[in-house]
Structure 1
Amino acid sequence: MEHPTAAGRYRIDRLLGSGGFASVWLGHDPELDSPVAIKILGEHWTLRTDVRDRFVQEARLLRRADSHRLVQVFDIGELPDGQPYFVMTYADRGTLAERLADGPLPPDEALRTAREISRGVQELHDLGVVHRDLKPSNVLLRSASGGGERIMISDLGIARTEDHLSSLTLPAGSPGYMAPEQTQVDGAPDRRADIYGLGALTYHLLTGEPPATPARSPGETRPAIPPAVNTVVLRALEPDRERRWASAAEFGEALARAAADIGTDPLPEPLPKRGRVSRPSRRRIVIAVAGAMAVAVAAAVLWGFTGRSGGGDSAADERDARWLRPGSDVPARYRDLIVQAGTWCDMPGLSPALIAAMLKAESGFDPRLSDPAKDEYGIARWTPRVLVFWQPGGLDNPEPRPAQITPELSIPAMGRFLCFWGKDLKNVPGDPALNLAAAYRSSAKTVVKTGGVPARFKPYTENVRRYMDDYRPR
């Protein structure tokens, strides 16, 4: 990825994070002497009118909201080569996902955080906008005066205005946080899908993990959580949207009442400063199984990012060492993507070491790999007609051309693929990690039918096993 040096009047200092369709950079506004975040559409997508229009629409929605509870957009423009960008609030304390890498928040702080997020969601709903992808990585944290902290909702890449919700909708969202109706083609998710997302976010804040399906009471994981809080959260997570809270404001008010049971002041207050802890023939699964795969296109948001969001290199290195052995040949520029894919869900065998080992076996970490005879491209050897289901936004976005299959697009898709099909391998004997690798190279159905790694894929999985030994932390 080329390092742009400027966007209009704004100096560009360094990369904060990148996704399949756009990247976010730390910039500096020289006139106001202030740091800013600059979001730039990927050059491969600049000429795609549909993708470009959605990028600009996100900026317009954020500007229209113009709330301190949402990331604010200050400017928009184009680089000299035509790539559109917009300038927005810089979150100097990173994301809520990074905060939660250290475990659940204290109950009172978790509830204050959830109530503040619910206020931001209500502001979106008052404007007729449904977010559709509420999750910890889409909640940003920024220093506030007096030592407090601002909580800002970000990433409206798959948000819809309510006047467009009646049109055909395809599955979109993120596993663990999306309402059941979001997994269905034409499930017509409305603002009640965001109520479910708020419930899942609150559950994660309280317990340290997103809810399972069906959701258990948060108190089963953390007994200190009062029954009143459990009731509020479980109602938000009702599979039947008619039974959920009617609005984000109603959900927040119910949390405020329940907070009295743990002595939490129901009025909003600044959050205390806390230390940040940065924590495919496979794809011969062809269009015949597209219906099943469509359920999982909800695996990520169109503009979802991975990266360090402003953390220092030493903090990132410390975090990486938890997952991948320092000094191995895993390229540093792909480590964040690999950690994201390897921790996408709680799946036996799935780990960053497995993802790294598979990438080594697939391409030797070559992002330019091109094998037209097999119709496989990029660092993870994806076939375009299959990657379209697993890319950010899934079928909401166009099938990528070979030149567009970047590591930012294809590595996270591996995590989504393995999380979806891995559940079918639950009772298959053998090493769960190697079974996942074999499913990626063939299919989950093949591995289940064989009762383990098929003989013709054992040389591949043996390579994966050997590389995993090299990449696991000691």
Structure 2
Amino acid sequence: METPSSAGRYTIDRLLGSGGFASVWLGRDEELDSPVAIKILAEHWAQRTDVHERFVQEARLLRQVDSHRLVQVFDIGEQEDGRPYFVMTYADRGTLDERLAEGPLPLNEALRMAREIIRGVQELHEVDIVHRDLKPSNVLLRSVPGGDAERVMISDLGIARTGDRLSSLTLPAGSPGYMAPEQTQIDGAPDQRADVYGLGALTYHMLTGEPPGQTRRPPSDLQPAIPHAVDQVVLRALEPDREKRWPSAAEFGHALSRTTSRINTDPLPPARPARGGSPARGRRRLAVITGGTLVGLSLAGGGAFWAFGGSGGSGESAPDGKWLRAGSDVPPQYRALIVQAGTWCDMKGLSPALIAAMLKAESNFDAKLSDPAGDEYGIARWTPKVLVFWQPGGLNNPEPKPAAITPELSIPAMGRYLCYWGKDLRDLPGDPALNLAATYRSSSKTVAQAGGVPARFKPYTDKVHRYLEDYLPR
């Protein structure tokens, strides 16, 4: 990716982050002598009017709320090649994700930040916007002049839904570890309570240093200094059944404030070592609603990241050796994406080593693979007409062109697919990892009917098994 020299009247310094649809750059407003963040649509989407409109819509939503608790949009324009860009607040203190890489926040700081994030989400809900992708990398931090104070800002409304679209068909969208259970389902119709779950997951992570796992352990199990009353408030936000959650961000915020008004503000003791694997984090088959019935099609799914950063799983900041063997031929630039895909959910057989082995078998890590005869492209061999169903926002986003099927778009999709269809394989005999690999090459129904890896896919799973042995950490 070449660094553009400018965007309109703004000079550009360096890349801050990129994803499947856009990149974000550190720029400077020379007239006002101020740093800014500039989000620019990716080159391969430049000619798509529908993508252009969706990109601009994100800027409009941020401008509509116009709150200091959200990233603010100051300007919008187009590059000479027609790509739109918009100019935003620059978060000079980075992201909450970076802050949490150092461990849990002090108790008073975690609760203060949680309340600020909740208030920002309240402001979205007041204008009928559901964020749907609350996670640490979408919470930005900016210094405030005159002291150590900082402003907390919510970013990335790329997969947000507004009130007029909340009742339409929805496809799985969100980030593992932070999205509500209904967001993993086709037509889960997430509403404001999906954001309540995301807020609960963020609060849990800030208090404990870890996202909540599927077991929903009380935060005080990991940090004994956390009052049990806080446990109860946070765990209610994380209820799998949305009818049992706090009904709104405002109710969650009020409950948290009431519970914590007299809490001792001493810092938490050091975090306990993590136990077991990572917290929980869904190609060939897709459930399509037809006449009220779920019908399985032999298709390929995928995951896209509308805003920069693209990922949000805790595996990104984990040491490489925890997930993949040091010294193996897994390309370093794809390791974070592979860890994210391999920790998308807590499923027997799924691991970053399996994802790496499958990528090796599929393309030998060739990000530019092109197989027009099979209509498969990129490092994970995706089919564009299928990827459109699985990207965040589903059919609200356009079908990607082959050149747009980047590793950032396609590797996380492997984990999404395997988590979604892997549930059909729970009682099958054989190696769970190889059953998952065979499902990726065929379908969960095919593997289930065969009682394991079908004979015609055995050469493929043999290759995966061989590579898996090379990539598993010692």
TM-score bin (small chain): 0.7 to 0.9
Letter in 2 for 1:59: A
Letter in 2 for 1:227: H
Distance 1:167 1:438, change over 3 A: closer
Give the secondary-structure state (helix, strand or coil) at the position aligned to 1:147. Answer: coil
Give the secondary-structure state (helix, strand or coil) at the position aligned to 2:329. Answer: coil
- Alignment correspondent of 2:237: 236
Contact in 2 for aligned 1:165/1:189 (Cα 8 Å): yes
- Which runs of 4 or more aligned residues in structure 1 lie more than 6 Å from their structure 2 counterparts after TM superposition? 287-290, 296-300
**Residues of 1 paired with 2:388 and 2:70: CA distance?**
30
**Residues of 2 paired with 1:128 and 1:185: CA distance?**
22
Judge which range, 109-118 or 462-471, deviates more: 462-471
**Residues of 1 paired with 2:36 and 2:319: CA distance?**
25
Deviation digits for residues 368-390 of structure 1, max 9, x if unmatched? 22222222111111122332233
- Alignment correspondent of 2:346: 346
Judge which range, 32-41 or 151-160, deviates more: 32-41
- Alignment correspondent of 1:305: 309
**Residues of 2 paired with 1:29 and 1:327: CA distance?**
44
**Residues of 2 paired with 1:77 and 1:22: CA distance?**
15
Contact in 1 for aligned 2:71/2:88 (Cα 8 Å): yes
Letter in 2 for 1:205: M
- Alignment correspondent of 1:258: 259
Name the TM-score, length of structure 2 as normaliser.
Answer: 0.81
**Residues of 2 paired with 1:471 and 1:46: CA distance?**
38
CA offset at residue 141 of structure 1?
Answer: 2.7
Contact in 2 for aligned 1:178/1:197 (Cα 8 Å): yes
**Residues of 1 paired with 2:448 and 2:169: CA distance?**
35
- Alignment correspondent of 1:157: 158
- Alignment correspondent of 1:312: none
**Residues of 2 paired with 1:225 and 1:418: CA distance?**
36
Distance 1:338 1:36, change over 3 A: farther
Distance 1:184 1:471, change over 3 A: closer
Contact in 2 for aligned 1:174/1:300 (Cα 8 Å): no
Letter in 1 for 2:84: P
Distance 1:26 1:429, change over 3 A: farther
- Alignment correspondent of 1:56: 56
Letter in 2 for 1:340: Q
- Alignment correspondent of 1:13: 13
Distance 1:451 1:164, change over 3 A: closer
**Residues of 1 paired with 2:296 and 2:33: CA distance?**
48
Judge which range, 437-446 or 179-188, deviates more: 179-188
| 2:190 counterpart of 1:192 | no
1:200-239 aligned within 5 A: 200-211=201-212, 215=216, 217-219=218-220, 222-238=223-239
Letter in 2 for 1:306: G
Give the secondary-structure state (helix, strand or coil) at the position aligned to 2:118. Answer: helix
Deviation digits for residues 369-419 of structure 1, max 9, x if unmatched? 222222211111112233223323333323323333222211121121122
Deviation digits for residues 182-225 of structure 1, max 9, x if unmatched? 45666554433322322232233334444456855444555543
**Residues of 2 paired with 1:418 and 1:366: CA distance?**
21
Contact in 1 for aligned 2:173/2:391 (Cα 8 Å): no
Deviation digits for residues 145-165 of structure 1, max 9, x if unmatched? 423433211111122333443
**Residues of 2 paired with 1:297 and 1:202: CA distance?**
31
Letter in 1 for 2:246: W
Letter in 1 for 2:157: L
Instruction: Write 1 or 2 for the structure with the bigger share of helix.
Output: 1
Distance 1:56 1:119, change over 3 A: same
Give the secondary-structure state (helix, strand or coil) at the position aligned to 2:246. Answer: coil
Letter in 2 for 1:12: I
Letter in 2 for 1:466: R
Deviation digits for residues 330-381 of structure 1, max 9, x if unmatched? 3344333333323333333333333232222111222222222222111111
Contact in 1 for aligned 2:287/2:295 (Cα 8 Å): no
1:31-110 aligned within 5 A: 31-110=31-110
Letter in 1 for 2:437: A
Deviation digits for residues 248-294 of structure 1, max 9, x if unmatched? 233222112212464249xxxxxxxxxxxxx9xxx342666994789
**Residues of 2 paired with 1:263 and 1:317: CA distance?**
30
Letter in 2 for 1:25: W
Contact in 1 for aligned 2:302/2:413 (Cα 8 Å): no
Judge which range, 232-241 or 372-381, deviates more: 232-241
CA offset at residue 118 of structure 1?
Answer: 0.4
- Alignment correspondent of 1:386: 386
Contact in 1 for aligned 2:284/2:301 (Cα 8 Å): no
Contact in 2 for aligned 1:133/1:301 (Cα 8 Å): no
Letter in 2 for 1:375: D
Distance 1:285 1:188, change over 3 A: closer
| Total equivalences in the alignment | 452
Deviation digits for residues 283-306 of structure 1, max 9, x if unmatched? 342666994789x98977643633
CA offset at residue 176 of structure 1?
Answer: 4.2
1:111-190 aligned within 5 A: 111-145=111-145, 146-166=147-167, 169-182=170-183, 188-190=189-191
Name the TM-score, length of structure 1 as normaliser.
Answer: 0.81
**Residues of 2 paired with 1:64 and 1:449: CA distance?**
52
**Residues of 1 paired with 2:265 and 2:311: CA distance?**
34
**Residues of 2 paired with 1:137 and 1:293: CA distance?**
34
Judge which range, 111-120 or 126-135, deviates more: 126-135
- Alignment correspondent of 1:271: none
Distance 1:37 1:102, change over 3 A: same
**Residues of 2 paired with 1:325 and 1:366: CA distance?**
20
- Alignment correspondent of 2:274: none
CA offset at residue 229 of structure 1?
Answer: 1.3
Judge which range, 8-17 or 239-248, deviates more: 239-248
Contact in 2 for aligned 1:16/1:307 (Cα 8 Å): no
Distance 1:442 1:85, change over 3 A: same
**Residues of 2 paired with 1:244 and 1:328: CA distance?**
44
**Residues of 2 paired with 1:186 and 1:432: CA distance?**
28
Distance 1:166 1:470, change over 3 A: closer
Letter in 1 for 2:230: V
CA offset at residue 81 of structure 1?
Answer: 1.0
Give the secondary-structure state (helix, strand or coil) at the position aligned to 1:348. Answer: coil
- Alignment correspondent of 2:24: 24
Letter in 2 for 1:193: A
Provide the aligned C-alpha RMSD in A: 3.6
| 2:450 counterpart of 1:446 | no
Give the secondary-structure state (helix, strand or coil) at the position aligned to 1:116. Answer: helix
**Residues of 1 paired with 2:178 and 2:193: CA distance?**
13
